[in-house]
Amino acid sequence: MDNWKHYVIHRFQHPYREGVSFKMSKQNSYIENKTLHLKVTNCTRETFLENCSYIGTDEVDGNLKCGTRDKKEERYYRNNLLPPFQAAMLQSKTKFRHVRIDIEAQVAHGDFLFSGMQLATENDAINIAIVRGNSELKDTANNEVGGKSLFAGVLRKSPDKDKFEPHEADQFFRSDEHFGNRYHTYSAIWKSDSITFKLNGQTYAIFDNKEIMEEISLNGERHIQLFLTVGGELHFPDSRIVKGGNFVHSNAKISSIIKSHVNSSSWVQPKLSIRSIKVYSTDKNEI
């Protein structure tokens, strides 16, 4: 923990709309056999998050992100606003710029689980790997985007700063088996004008949108960010992912909707497990 800190916050509010609270708990983040495990568990129904990472003066917004200690409001928040699951997010205390990063990991396998491995600031993130936990999942064009498909790209705040916009690389990798079945090494080589993404040492995607790359470079150094979450408009966008029923993230009752669509007992592996993270300096000639 000399190198990492927990990000503690509820993530069901706009623009994330995820079915989790990120907590600092040995249930949700622990080291076993020299491997870091981030695990999703059922929510313990606490209405206030100790050591919440949110800093602000807006009481309503603070209650949404951290919960409340007010006993009069506790029942309301417990029944209407608390996410159904809790998980963990870790951020490196050290920041990096223009590097190559290799992460050896086994991603989560289960409906609407999402394993996050990023280089991130408050305004954007380089998604080192995008693997959705579902065994099978279709997008609106009937393409398979579940756990046998590996994507990568960039997440940034829109000009109005009110929501995040995902930008995936044009290329992707399709496997014969779910990526959560075994460990793989996911890599990103971040240069000033492009990001090269690799799987087990082999390049499968390059992101080089000039406007976005200039913006990423201007935002400067960024933390390594690791997390495991459930659902969310950023990772399972309503405009692209077919989820069925009334599973729409803009619905005010998104917590109960996620709970009704997710059978956690059927999750094959509700963990993101990481064996190693290696960060190297790089230059414009590395491929």
Average pLDDT over residues 78-98: 90
* pLDDT of 161: 64
Q: What three-state secondary structure class fits 233?
A: coil
Mean pLDDT over the full length of the chain:
91
This prediction has a pTM of 0.94
Look at residue 82 and tell me if it is in a domain.
no
Look at residue 253 and tell me if it is in a domain.
yes
Look at residue 17 and tell me if it is in a domain.
no
* C-alpha–C-alpha distance, residues 12 and 72, integer Å: 21
* C-alpha–C-alpha distance, residues 247 and 237, integer Å: 11
Q: What is the CATH number of the domain that holds 262?
A: 2.60.120.200
Those residues with Cβ within 8 angstroms of residue 138's Cβ, 6 or more apart along the chain or in another chain: 144, 145, 241, 242
Tokens, residue 69? 């200690």
* Domain interval for residue 268: 94-281
The answer to whether the CB of 97 falls within 8 A of the CB of 192 is no
* pLDDT of 185: 98
* pLDDT of 228: 98
Lookup result for tokens 């990991």? 105
> Which pLDDT band holds residue 226 (cuts at 50, 70, 90)?
very high
Write the pLDDT tens digit of every residue in 33-64: 999 999 999 988 788 998 999 977 777 788 88
Lowest pLDDT segment from 23-32, 130-139, 186-195, 259-268: 259-268
Q: What three-state secondary structure class fits 212?
A: helix
Q: How far is CA 211 from CA 68, 191, 195, 207, 215, in A?
A: 41, 14, 13, 11, 6
Tokens, residue 220? 């400067």
The secondary structure element, H or E, covering residue 285 is none
Lowest pLDDT segment from 58-62, 87-91, 264-268: 58-62
Nearest to 24 by CA among 92, 88, 79: 88
Write the pLDDT tens digit of every residue in 128-171: 999 999 999 999 999 999 999 999 999 988 776 677 888 999 99
Write the pLDDT tens digit of every residue in 64-75: 899 888 888 888
* C-alpha–C-alpha distance, residues 73 and 79, integer Å: 10
Q: List phi, psi (to 5°) of 216.
A: -60, -45
> Which pLDDT band holds residue 94 (cuts at 50, 70, 90)?
very high
Q: List phi, psi (to 5°) of 246.
A: -100, 25
The number of distinct structural domains making up the chain is 1
Look at residue 107 and tell me if it is in a domain.
yes
Angle (CA) 184-226-241 rounded to 5° is 80
Average pLDDT over residues 105-118: 97
Look at residue 277 and tell me if it is in a domain.
yes
Look at residue 190 and tell me if it is in a domain.
yes
Look at residue 249 and tell me if it is in a domain.
yes
* pLDDT of 160: 67
**255 or 195, greater pLDDT:** 195
Look at residue 65 and tell me if it is in a domain.
no
**Is the omega angle on the peptide bond into residue 15 within 30 degrees of 0, that is, cis?**
yes
